[in-house]
Amino acid sequence: MRNAVAGASGPIGGAPLLVNGDVTARRIINSLSINYTPIDAKDGIFIEAGEYSLFWGSLYVFDRFGPDDVEGWSNVVAADVKFDLSDTIDVGGQATVRIGNDFDSIAYSGGPSVGIMPFKNGYISIGYNIVGFADRDFEESRYTRDISLITFRLKFDQETIGNLEV
């Protein structure tokens, strides 16, 4: 953006600008999620026995604020663990760490959670991050702020949709 004026809205509207002069913001973002659900076999019936997830996100930023260039790598590494207490209730927790250039800045997030399955293909999780941090680039993928949170998931597959009557 050229000739930005702090306090004025951008060329297509939106939030007021926070800088004066010429500004360029570019980011390369990539992430990888791995999920494992162990299965126990009891009396010939397969039962899920928890869930383990790993997340890795990497970000390269190269910005220009007037005559100054700002660039560098940042990585987010996280793990989620859930243990089934019964067919409908689980307990677990999550931990996330964001590591800046050359380990010069490190931020943590983490806390416990409880999940229930109120009906088939539905899941509700209630959690609380005891510590947290703000991250505009990965906050859509990870809950990293120090907040209480509730998530709700529904599973739709070919069997679920096939059973719907029109």
> Per-residue pLDDT tens for 26-61?
778 888 999 998 887 776 666 777 899 999 999 888
Residue pLDDT, tens place only, 76-130: 999 999 999 988 999 999 999 999 877 788 999 999 999 999 988 889 999 999 9
Listed residue (158, 107, 166) closest to 131, CA to CA:
107
Q: Is the pTM here over 0.75, yes or no?
A: no
The reported pLDDT for the residue numbered 54 is 96
Which residues is 127 bridged to in the sheet? 113, 149
Calculate the alpha carbon distances from 146 to 127, 136, 149 in Å: 11, 14, 9
With vertex at residue 135, the alpha carbon angle to CA 130 and CA 141, rounded to the nearest 5 degrees, is 85
- What pLDDT sits at residue 107? 92
> So where are the chain's domains?
23-162
Average predicted confidence (pLDDT) for the chain: 80
pLDDT score at 153: 87
